[in-house]
Amino acid sequence: MIIAAADGSALGNPGPAGWAWYVGDDCWAAGGWKHATNNQAELTAVLELLRATAHVDDELHIQCDSQYVINAVTKWMAGWKRKGWRKADGKPVMNVELLQALDAELVGRRYRFEWVKGHIGHAMNEAADERARAVAEAFRRGAAVIPSGPGWTRGGAVEPRVDEIAVAEVSDEVEPMEIPPPLEPADAVSDDAALFSLDELPEEWHAITLDLSTEEYDRLVVRARAEGVSPEEFLRGLI
C-alpha cells in the first residue's frame, strides 16, 4: 500500500496557489499557478498523485484534509456524471475539467481516502501543506518555483508529462486558473561535461559561478532535460 498526503493552498482564495503530494522526503511533487482557488489546488494535488502512481499496482491510501475533495470523489461524482456533470439544482458543477480528469484517472485504481484535520501537526499532511504553500508564496513573490520535487521515485519511474488542463471552471467572480507557460525550447547539450561551459560568451553576457550540491545538480539536470534544454539554459530562463 502507498500512503500519501495531498494538499493545496491558495493565498487569498482565489490567489497565488500551490498543490503538493507527499510520500516521503525523497518522493514528492509540487506545482501551482498565479491565480486559482483552494479547491482547485486540493483537487489537483490528488490528480497529480494519481498520475504519478498510474504505473503502480499498489492500493493508494490518500490522506487529505479537504472534505470537499473526498466527498466529490466518493459521494457526489457518480450523481454528477448521471446528470451530465450538473448539480441537483441544474447548475454546472464547478471545477468540472479537474473532476473529469480525476474520474478518468480513478478507473481501475485501488484507492481509499482518509480525512485528516489540517494544521494540527499531522506529519505527512504538514509536509504536503508546507510544499504547496511554498509554491503559492513563490508565485506571490514572482519567484521561481524551485524545487518542484523529485517526483515519483519508488517502484519505477514515469515519463514527465505536460498538464493538459489549462483552465478550470470557476465562478463568475473568479479569474480562470492559469498554467504558467513552459520555457522556450533550446538545443539540448549532448555532452554532460560541457553543460555549464560558458566559453566564448558574447561581450554583453556575464559569467556567473554557481555552487551546487550533487543532489541539487542532479535535480537541475532532470528538470532541464524534461524541458528539452541544457541546465544553463534552464537557469537562464529562470533568471
Known catalytic residues?
Answer: 7-8, 42, 65, 119, 129
DSSP string for residues in the chain: -EEEEEEEEESSSSEEEEEEEEEETTEEEEEEEEEE-HHHHHHHHHHHHHHHTTT--S-EEEEES-HHHHHIIIIIHHHHHHTTSB-TTSPBPTTHHHHHHHHHHHTT--EEEEE--TTS--HHHHHHHHHHHHHHHHHHHT--------B--SSS---------------TTSPPP-PPPPPPP-PPPS-GGGTT--TT--TT---------HHHHHHHHHHHHHHTS-HHHHHHHH-
